Structure 1
Amino acid sequence: MGTASSTVHTKAIHLDVEGKIQKVIFSHLSSPSDVREALSVAAGALRGEVVTLVDQVGNPVGINPKMPANSESFPYKVIVVTDEEPGQEKHLQNVFVEIAQHLSRVLGINDFKEELSAKLDVLERRMDADRLRATEIARCTEDIKKLRLGYVCGCVTPASSKRLTPRRDIPTYPKYTLSEETIEALKQPTFDIWQWAPNEMLSCIEYMYHDLGLVQEFNINSITLKRWLLCIQENYRDNPFHNFRHCFCVTQMMHGMIHLCNLKDLLSMADIAVLMTAAVCHDLDHPGYNNTYQINAHTELAIRYNNISPLENHHCAVAFQILSNPESNIFGNTDTELFRQIREGMIELILATDMAIHGGIMQEFTQCVDNFDYENRDHLRSLKQMLIKCCDISNEVRPMEVSEPWVDCLLQEYFMQSEREKSEGLPVSTFMDRDIVTKPKIQIGFIQLILIPMFEAMVKLFTQLNEVMLQPLRESRDRYEELKQSEDAMNEVMTDFSPRTRVA
């Protein structure tokens, strides 16, 4: 009697060959060379020509039995090129042949891991240095992925697994060598986040994970780290405020807090990983409209999470959907129990960014801060919640020229929401109504009522924050009070000169 494992599954690939649609069918038991040969025949490639595929947006598609199936409506574009520069490709092929020969000779894979990893690292550096053609990068990366996932990690990606992937599945953002000045600035709350391009922000976050020892501690694969960061970036929307630059801002502030407060001496490496990764993921796929709108408008998110922190629950879900894919799981080499702890910690911190529960978090921390005990799990949980909140809403501790653009971005998002609420007949939050809100007024209230009390509580535990964070907040409040006085005076003048109705 046959078994389920004996069933042969077929896959259909549709190709766009100079405007004509060609259909190729092969089984999951086919070898990569069989698949490539079948596609080459369908594409009409001649001897000495190399066939490569790209998807609808121009991303290269790896040719192998596990390549994604497609439809006639969305065929892969065929690119046939003459192999005019065989030297480099031949050298890369020789490297893979040598690796295959080693694998065939070795009986135990554990003894071969270090040598295989070294060869792959050399190959990856050569690929970056020589800036190989897109077709070569796609081919080599596909082979590297199979070697790493299939042999080193011992894990295979299920064909049915859901995944959120960036449009650029191959880690192609350029490497930046950070200067000593930049490395030191990354540790400070005065860091100017506006001068960095998206690729540079990715490189800075990548550096932070190396700097804090997280890459070494959790055996994070360098390619996986890049792919994860790209996937994170792709899943932040292009909102005025809640965007990838805000993610970078909060992550950089967390990195600075860890250094300023010497948290590596006080917390475990798992705690450091939770703090940093929660900061990176804390606003994933934010739609630009807050929880109040979600609940009042009865959106899908509000219904799904029963009006309980719908956005924050969604950020968590997206974060762990990304991590559920082995190709982008930076914690893929940790044991099950440790990953469970990291997951629980991240969920706890991301949910803590909901301003609706700010008062409860503040109350819990103020009750324990005077007798804080790092061995007490409740005290540690309260501290980590305060840290993520401080980083999430601490733009005002930066210099005015750095912090004020954030206020403009936030107000733009607020006004977008209030206009939508008015158009849909929903209650309008007064602090978002452009007819009522002014920048000085909203900033004075937020700094005085939320930020200063929060950092005053944190200073009791970390006195070094007084000069670098609490004092700048007080100065920022004073500057906005001066601006408010100027606005009030101008409004009085305008009122005095406004037309008056004459009384007969």
Structure 2
Amino acid sequence: MAQQLVRLLGVDDFRSELSRKLDLLERQIDSELQKTAEIERCNNDLERFRESVNKRERLEHVCESICPGTVRKLTPRRDVPTYPKYTLSQETIEALKTPTFDVWQWAPNEMLSCIEFMFHDLGLVQEFNINAITLKRWLVCSSDLRPDPDPNPDSGPEPNPDSDPDPDLLCVQENYRDVPFHNFRHCFSVTQMMHGMVHLCNLKAKLSMTEVVILITSAICHDLDHPGYNNTYQINAHTEMAVRYDNVSPLENHHCAVTFQILADPDFNIFSNIRPELFMQIQEGITELILATDMARHEEIMSAFTCCVDKFDYENIEHLRLLKQVLIKCCDISNEVRPTDVSEPWVDCLLQEYFMQSDREKFEGLPVMSFMDRDVVTKPNVQIGFLQMVLIPMFEAVAKLFPELGEVMVQRLREARARYENLLQPEEIDEERSF
């Protein structure tokens, strides 16, 4: 009777329906709770992202207020460069191996093509499995190449080294600023001289391919993002760069940082196809050579090299390290090795950069070095001292190891010194004698 009544009233069906609805309700509640938790996670992530962006903006604001023009927001360009390709003649190929090469005769796209050729000519592309498009992209990101600085610094408006016209590009060419001396043409000049050194001194027979690629890459990158004001200014003006590197080779450390900021992106990393441990070796070598270009270390490096040059051993790691440091130093300041019509415009450009700095130092009440003061210095007196005290002794030391450099480089430096001595005014001759 009771069972019939239960069936009659549909109690089992009611229980089943109630259980189903309760189960459905529980699932809906669980789903809503999961959505709420997901929304909460998204809100937390969004808040952390906002804090990160605000912190980055505050940091950039502080850096910009300390040293205007130093904040660089680099974002990669992933297009394939389409700059006008220059086909090198056999005459150009041979000239690239010599210290008499005229670096003033080449447009930006031609200089880029020459540097590309050097990597192929020295066997570096094949040895390190460098992708040809990556090599192009590493050198230049855009087909809209900047106009080259005027080789005649006495004409045209004063350049502004605090402004970087292309701050968003990660390649080499776009990260050389439009300053009178430390620009992309200087990069090309130093790289071409290093390429010539490799051929003149037969370095491929004496050094490993890793050491050769370190030499060439360091030459290309050694002055990346140079602002046109030297380390003395950076330190005296307490710039953000000097503060960051604790007044120790601030420019050279910055050049290294920009070098590896570029190489950190796979689209611009010419060494992306080599073993990580080999890349670390190359990175360490490039850093060591770029830091060696700080003239504050000149006496230290030359003293050590002079001590080992008479008993030089290519199996000695320390001897090789010093040789590479001296080679990049030679190439960096090698302009007077070139013919007069090639070297003299560089002196004009350098003096313009010196005067630009000393004018700013006077305006800011900072110490001014006499050899940079437009009211004191002349072209002959600044070059004679540099040739006598720095260039000739350094190249003479290298020529002990490579006698083939004696006539093509050391003799050229001595002739340059004699030429500048003939240009001295009578009062300057008295000063030189008293010195």
Q: TM-score range by the shorter chain?
A: 0.7 to 0.9
**Is structure 2 residue 116 aligned with structure 1 residue 206?**
yes
Residue 312 of structure 1, aligned match among 252, 272, 277:
252
Deviations 1:383-437 (A, max 9, x none): 0000000000010000000000000000000000000000000001111000100
Structure 2 residue aligned with 1:228, among 138, 147, 151?
A: 138
Report if aligned partners of 2:305, 2:322 keep a CA contact under 8 Å in 1.
yes
Partner of 1:181: 91
Amino acid at match of 1:178: L
The residue number in structure 1 matching 2:379 is: 439
Evaluate the alpha carbon distance shift between residue 294 and residue 273 of structure 1 in structure 2; reply closer, same or farther with a 3 A threshold: same
Q: Distance in 1 between matches of 2:336 and 2:123?
A: 29
Q: Find the partner of 1:373 among 308, 313, 318.
A: 313
Provide the C-alpha distance between the structure 1 equivalents of 2:426 and 2:344, rounded to a whole number of angstroms.
Answer: 17
Residues 174-214 of structure 1, C-alpha deviations (whole Å, 9 max, x = no match)? 22211010000000000000000001000000000000000
Distance 1:165 1:430, change over 3 A: farther
Matched residue, 2:301: 361
- Mapped partners of 2:356, 2:321: distance in 1: 35
TM-superposed deviation, 1:275: 0.1
SS in 1 for 2:375: coil
- Asked if residue 300 in structure 1 is aligned to residue 240 in structure 2, the reply is yes
Q: Does residue 286 in structure 1 map to residue 222 in structure 2?
A: no
Question: Residues 270-285 of structure 1 correspond to what in structure 2 (within 5 A)?
Answer: 270-285=210-225
Contact 1:163 1:325 in 2 (8 A): no
**Structure 2 residue ranges without an equivalent (≥5):** 1-30, 43-72, 141-170, 430-435
Letter in 1 for 2:89: S
Q: Are the aligned partners of 2:263 and 2:270 in contact in 1 as well (CA < 8 Å)? A: yes
Contact residue 163 and residue 322 of structure 1 kept, 8 A: no
Q: CA deviation at 1:477?
A: 0.4
User: Identity across aligned pairs (percent)?
Assistant: 74
**Aligned pair in 2 of structure 1 residues 330, 296: CA closer, same or farther (>3 Å)?**
same
Alignment of 1:339-358 (within 5 A): 339-358=279-298
Q: Residues 15-63 of structure 1: CA distance to partner in whole angstroms, max 9, x if unpaired?
A: xxxxxxxxxxxxxxxxxxxxxxxxxxxxxxxxxxxxxxxxxxxxxxxxx
Correspondence for 2:337: 397
- Asked if 2 retains the 8 angstrom alpha-carbon contact of 1:164 and 1:321, the reply is no
Q: How does 1:84-103 map to 2 (within 5 A)?
A: none
1:133-173 alpha-carbon deviations (Å, 9 max, x no partner): xxxxxxxxxxxxxxxxxxxxxxxxxxxxx95546x843101
Find the aligned partners of 1:163 and 1:228 in 2 and give their Cα distance: 14
Partner SS state of residue 233, structure 2? helix
Give, in whole Å, the separation in 1 of the partners of 2:376 and 2:245.
32
TM-score w.r.t. structure 2 length?
A: 0.74
Checking the alignment, whether the CA contact within 8 Å between 1:236 and 1:284 is kept in structure 2 is yes
Counterpart AA for 1:276 = I
Decide which structure has greater helix share.
2
Structure 1 residue aligned with 2:184 = 244
Q: Of 388, 392, 417, which aligns to 2:328?
A: 388
Equivalent residues in 2 for 1:50-69, closer than 5 Å: none
Change (3 A) 1:336 1:430: same
Greater per-residue strand proportion: 1
2:273 to 333, 340, 345: 333
Displaced runs of 4 or more, over 3 A: 162-166, 485-489
Deviations along 1:300-348, whole A, 9 cap, x unmatched?
0000000000000000000000000000000000101100000000000
Question: Per the alignment, in what secondary structure is the counterpart of residue 424 of structure 2?
Answer: helix
Alpha-carbon separation, structure 2, partners of 1:455 and 1:200: 29
Structure 1 CA distance for aligned equivalents of residues 190 and 388 of structure 2: 21
Match in the other structure for 2:422: 482
The equivalent residue for 2:128 is: 218
Please name the residue that 2:193 is paired with: 253
User: Are 1:464 and 2:374 counterparts?
Assistant: no
Q: How far apart are the structure 2 equivalents of 1:418 and 1:169?
A: 41
In the alignment, which residue of structure 2 is the partner of 1:56?
A: none
1:98-122 CA deviation, whole Å, 9 max, x = no partner? xxxxxxxxxxxxxxxxxxxxxxxxx
* 1:181–1:285 distance in 2 versus 1, CA, 3 Å: same
Cα distance in structure 1, aligned partners of 2:199 and 2:258: 28
Alpha-carbon contact 2:381-2:428 (below 8 Å) kept: no
Equivalent residue number for residue 413 of structure 1 = 353
Matches within 5 A, 1:13-52: none
Three-state SS of the structure 2 residue aligned to 1:460 is helix
1:268 to 191, 194, 208: 208
Aligned-partner residue type, residue 445 of structure 1: G
Distance across 1 between alignment mates of 2:84 and 2:104: 19
Distance, in Å, in 2 between the alignment partners of 1:308 and 1:466 is 34
AA of the residue aligned to 1:207: F
Matching residue's letter, 2:289 = L
SS in 1 for 2:172: helix
Is the Cα–Cα contact under 8 Å of residues 411 and 432 in structure 1 kept in the other structure? Answer: yes
- Shift of the 169–484 alpha-carbon distance from structure 1 to 2, 3 Å rule, reads farther
| Distance across 1 between alignment mates of 2:428 and 2:130 | 55
Q: Spell out, residue by residue over 1:368-393, the C-alpha distance to the aligned partner (whole angstroms, 9 max, x if none).
A: 00000000000000000000000000
Considering Cα pairs closer than 8 Å and 6+ residues apart, tell me whether 1 or 2 has the greater RCO: 2
Larger Rg: 2
1:191 & 1:485 partners in 2: Cα distance? 31
